C-alpha cells in the first residue's frame, strides 16, 4: 500500500497526523493542498453529530468571530473555516512548539527554575498580544471588538521552538461579536486563574487578563502554583483573600524591581493594577534591559531547542517523511471534485438567530483530553442581584458570599461524598458562603439539557490548544542558594559549541546561578548556557570547578563513559577568605606556574591573563580563625624543561603578591 493511499484528504487539506483526538472534536496537523503552496496548518474538526446542532454552530461561530480578524505576531492566526462533508472545521496557524505548561513541567523534571530574563520576556510578549486583542477594531466598520480573553494560563501561551510567543484559545473570550452574553452565575475559565473581581460580581474588563498574566509570571518565577489548595472551595477562598507572597521571598534570584511589577499586576483592587497591558509591557521591558542588557530574543529559541532537543529531533524526522508524500493524486482528486460541481469545502457554517440558547454551566480547565480521562467539575451558582463593588461606598461588604450564594444541602452532600471538603481548612460556615460544586459526570445522559452542552462548550472551544497534555501536575519548588554578588576576576574565554561533536556530553548544573557563579572545566572558564549546562569531554577525566567570590570552591573530579547528559548539584558553599597572586605590568618573565588549590592541580601562564590574579585561600584554624597559608608554586620558563620551586605565604585577606618579584 502506497503512502498516499494511507492519507485522508479533508477538503483542500491533506491530513498528516492527529495531535489530539476527542469525542466531540479532534485537532490534526495538515498540509494545505496547492500547486505553489506548502503550508502546514492545524485543523480543528467537529464530529458530524455535533456539527448538525444549530446551537453548536452558533457557539462555533462565536469563536470564529473573535479570532478571524486578529493578525498579530503574538496571537494565533485563523486561516479558514467552514463545513466539509458535514463537519464544522477551522484551520489555524500551526505552532511548532509547546505550551508554557509543558515548559514548566519539563523544567520540573530537570529540577530547574525558569530563568528570570526568559520569564520576563515571555510575559512581555504575551502582554503585547493581549493588548492588541483588547484594543482591536474591525477594519471595515471601525467598531471596537472589546475582546477579553478570560482564560489566560500557562496552557494557553504557546512557545515555538524558534522563540515566538503566541496567545491561543480565544474560545471563551468575551467580545462585542458574541451572539449571546454570558449567563449570570456562570464561571468561565480555569479556577486557579480567576481574578477577585469575578467573584465579587464586577463587570470584567482587560485588567482581568492582566491578573491572570500576573499569576502566570509569578508561577514561572517561583516554580509553584499561586492559588493551590486541596479543593475548589479553598482555592476560591484564597483568590478572594488575594494575599500574594513576594516572589523574591521564594526565589531569591528575583530582583526587587520585578517583585514590584508582579505585585502591581496582582493587586486585589484592579484600579491599582497597570492601566493596561501596554503599560505592563513597558515596565517589563525597562526592567529586562536594565538588569540584563545582553539579553536577546534569540536566547528563547536556544533555550527551547535545548530543553526539547530530543522531541524536536523526532518531530523533524516525522515532518521530513511528510514532505516526501506525493500530493499529485490529491490535487487531481480535488480538481475532479470541483468539476463535478462540488467544492473542496462546503460553504462556511451559518449561524441561526433562532437557534436555541444553550444553558451553560462552568467547566473548569478548557482544553482537549489526550488519552487520559480528566476530572471536570461544574460550578453551579444561583443568580443573585449584585451591586458592583466599585459603585458602593463600602470596600468590604460586597464579598464573594454576595456573588455566590446559598448552597443547597444536596449539592453539599455530593461534595462530601467526593472528598471535596475532606482536607479543607475552611469552616462549614465559610463553605456555605462560598460556592456549591456539582461533580456529576458530564456524560450522564439523563441530564443532557445542561451537562452535555456545557461539556460540548468546554471541549470545542479549545481554540488553538492542540498541544495540551493532561491536567496540571504541580511543579515543585527548587531551592536556590543565597549568595553574595560576585566580582568577576577572570574574563570568560570564548569556546566553540561542541555539543554536536563526537566525544562530548553535557553536564547540567542544578542550583547554579550564572549571575553570581563561575564554572571551569580543566581550569578553563566556560559559560553555562540558559539551561545551566556546560560541555564536557567523554572518556577522559576532567575537573569541574564552580566558584563564587568569598566562598569555598566546589570541585568535582569526573570521567563520563558515554554521551548521556548528567546532572551535578551545586551545594551551598561555605564562606572563605582569599589573598591574590598577580603579575605586574613590568613583569619580564615568560612561562607558566603550577600549583594546587583545594586539591585541584592548576596551571597559569606568566604574565597572568587574569586582571586580579589568582585567588589563594587562607587557612582556618581549629577555632575558626584565619591563619596564614603557604603554597608551593613551580615556575618554568618558556622553552626550558627545568622548574623552580617557590614558596608563597598568604598572611591576610585580600593580600596581593606580585610573583614576578620571586622569578
- Active-site residues: which are they? 151
Q: Closest Cα to residue 483, out of 571, 567, 544, 578?
A: 571
For 117-135, b/e burial (b = at least 16 CB within 10 A) is bbbbbbbbbbbbbbbbbbe
Cβ(84)–Cβ(344) under 8 Å? yes
Distance (Å, whole) CA 8 – CA 333: 12
Residue 93 falls in which region: left (phi positive, over 0), alpha (psi -120 to 50) or beta = beta
Cβ(650)–Cβ(579) under 8 Å? yes
Distance (Å, whole) CA 277 – CA 216: 14
How many CB atoms sit inside 10 A of residue 353's CB? 6
Distance (Å, whole) CA 601 – CA 468: 51
Distance (Å, whole) CA 254 – CA 5: 55
- C-alpha grid cell for residue 395? 470596600
How many CB atoms sit inside 10 A of residue 60's CB? 26
- C-alpha grid cell for residue 537? 569531554
Q: How far from 663 is each of 110, 588, 591, 643, CA to CA, in Å?
A: 49, 9, 10, 11
Cβ(597)–Cβ(553) under 8 Å? yes
Distance (Å, whole) CA 574 – CA 251: 20
Distance (Å, whole) CA 573 – CA 281: 37
Q: Give the relative orientation of helices 207-222 and 256-265 as an angle to the nearest 10 degrees.
A: 140
Amino acid at each position: 500500500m502506497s503512502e498516499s493511499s494511507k492519507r485522508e484528504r479533508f477538503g483542500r487539506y491533506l491530513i498528516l497526523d492527529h495531535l489530539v483526538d476527542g469525542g466531540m472534536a479532534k485537532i490534526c496537523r495538515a498540509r494545505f493542498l496547492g500547486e505553489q503552496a506548502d503550508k502546514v496548518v492545524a485543523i480543528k474538526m467537529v464530529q458530524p453529530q455535533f456539527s448538525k446542532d444549530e446551537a453548536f454552530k452558533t457557539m462555533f461561530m462565536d469563536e470564529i468571530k473573535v479570532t478571524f480578524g486578529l493578525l498579530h505576531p503574538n496571537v494565533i492566526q485563523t486561516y479558514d473555516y467552514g463545513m466539509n462533508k458535514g463537519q464544522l472545521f477551522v484551520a489555524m496557524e500551526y505552532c511548532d512548539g509547546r505550551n508554557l505548561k509543558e515548559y514548566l513541567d519539563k523544567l520540573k523534571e530537570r529540577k530547574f527554575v525558569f530563568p528570570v530574563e526568559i520569564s520576563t520576556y515571555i510575559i512581555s510578549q504575551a502582554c503585547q498580544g493581549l493588548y492588541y486583542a483588547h484594543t482591536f477594531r474591525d477594519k471595515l466598520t471601525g467598531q471596537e471588538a472589546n475582546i477579553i480573553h478570560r482564560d489566560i494560563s500557562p496552557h494557553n501561551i504557546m512557545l515555538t521552538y524558534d522563540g515566538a510567543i503566541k496567545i491561543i484559545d480565544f474560545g471563551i473570550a468575551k467580545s462585542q461579536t458574541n451572539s449571546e452574553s454570558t449567563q449570570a452565575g456562570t464561571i468561565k475559565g480555569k479556577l486557579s486563574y480567576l481574578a477577585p473581581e469575578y467573584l465579587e460580581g464586577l463587570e470584567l474588563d482587560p485588567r482581568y487578563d492582566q491578573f491572570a498574566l500576573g499569576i502566570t509570571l509569578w508561577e514561572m518565577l517561583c516554580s509553584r502554583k499561586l492559588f493551590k489548595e486541596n479543593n475548589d472551595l479553598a482555592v476560591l477562598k484564597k483568590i478572594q483573600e488575594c494575599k500574594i507572597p513576594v516572589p523574591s521571598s521564594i526565589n531569591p534570584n528575583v530582583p526587587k524591581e520585578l517583585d514590584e511589577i508582579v505585585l502591581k499586576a496582582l493587586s486585589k483592587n484592579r484600579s491599582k493594577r497597570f492601566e493596561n497591558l501596554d503599560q505592563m509591557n513597558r515596565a517589563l521591558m525597562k526592567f529586562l534591559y536594565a538588569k540584563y542588557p545582553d539579553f536577546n530574543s534569540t536566547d528563547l529559541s536556544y533555550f527551547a531547542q535545548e530543553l526539547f532537543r530530543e522531541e524536536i529531533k523526532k518531530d523533524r524526522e516525522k515532518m521530513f517523511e511528510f514532505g516526501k508524500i506525493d500530493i499529485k493524486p490529491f490535487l487531481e482528486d480535488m480538481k475532479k471534485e470541483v468539476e463535478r460541481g462540488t467544492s473542496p469545502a462546503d460553504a462556511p457554517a451559518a449561524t441561526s438567530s433562532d437557534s436555541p440558547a444553550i444553558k451553560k454551566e462552568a467547566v473548569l480547565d478548557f482544553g482537549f483530553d489526550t488519552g487520559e480521562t480528566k476530572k471536570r467539575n461544574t460550578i453551579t451558582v444561583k443568580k443573585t442581584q449584585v451591586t458592583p463593588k466599585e459603585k458602593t461606598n463600602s470596600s468590604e461588604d460586597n464579598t464573594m458570599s454576595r456573588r455566590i450564594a446559598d448552597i443547597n444541602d444536596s449539592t453539599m452532600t455530593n461534595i462530601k461524598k467526593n472528598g471535596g471538603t475532606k482536607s479543607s481548612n475552611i469552616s462549614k460556615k465559610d463553605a456555605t458562603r462560598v460556592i456549591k460544586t456539582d461533580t456529576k459526570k458530564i456524560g450522564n445522559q439523563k441530564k443532557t439539557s445542561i451537562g452535555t452542552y456545557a461539556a460540548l462548550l468546554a471541549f470545542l472551544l479549545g481554540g488553538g490548544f492542540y498541544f495540551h497534555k493532561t491536567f496540571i501536575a504541580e511543579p515543585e519548588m527548587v531551592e536556590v542558594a543565597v549568595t553574595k554578588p560576585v566580582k568577576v576576576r577572570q574574563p570568560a574565554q570564548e569556546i566553540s559549541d561542541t555539543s554536536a561533536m563526537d566525544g562530548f556530553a553535557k553536564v547540567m548544573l542544578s542550583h547554579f546561578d550564572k549571575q553570581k557563579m563561575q564554572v571551569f572545566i580543566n581550569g578553563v572558564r566556560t559559560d553555562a548556557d540558559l539551561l545551566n549546562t556546560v560541555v564536557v569531554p567523554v572518556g577522559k577525566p576532567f575537573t569541574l570547578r564552580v566558584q563564587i567570590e568569598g566562598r569555598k570552591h566546589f570541585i568535582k573530579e569526573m570521567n563520563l563513559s558515554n554521551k548521556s547528559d548528567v546532572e551535578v548539584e551545586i551545594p551551598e558553599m561555605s564562606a572563605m577568605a582569599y589573598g591574590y597572586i598577580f603579575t605586574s605590568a613590568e613583569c619580564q618573565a615568560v612561562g607558566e606556574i603550577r600549583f594546587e588549590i583545594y586539591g585541584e592541580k592548576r596551571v597559569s601562564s606568566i604574565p597572568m591573563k587574569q586582571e586580579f590574579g589568582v585567588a589563594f585561600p587562607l587557612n582556618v584554624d581549629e577555632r575558626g580563625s584565619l591563619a596564614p597559608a603557604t603554597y608551593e608554586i613551580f615556575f618554568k620558563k618558556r622553552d626550558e624543561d627545568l622548574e623552580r620551586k617557590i614558596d608563597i605565604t598568604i598572611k591576610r585577606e585580600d593580600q596581593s603578591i606580585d610573583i614576578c618579584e620571586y622569578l
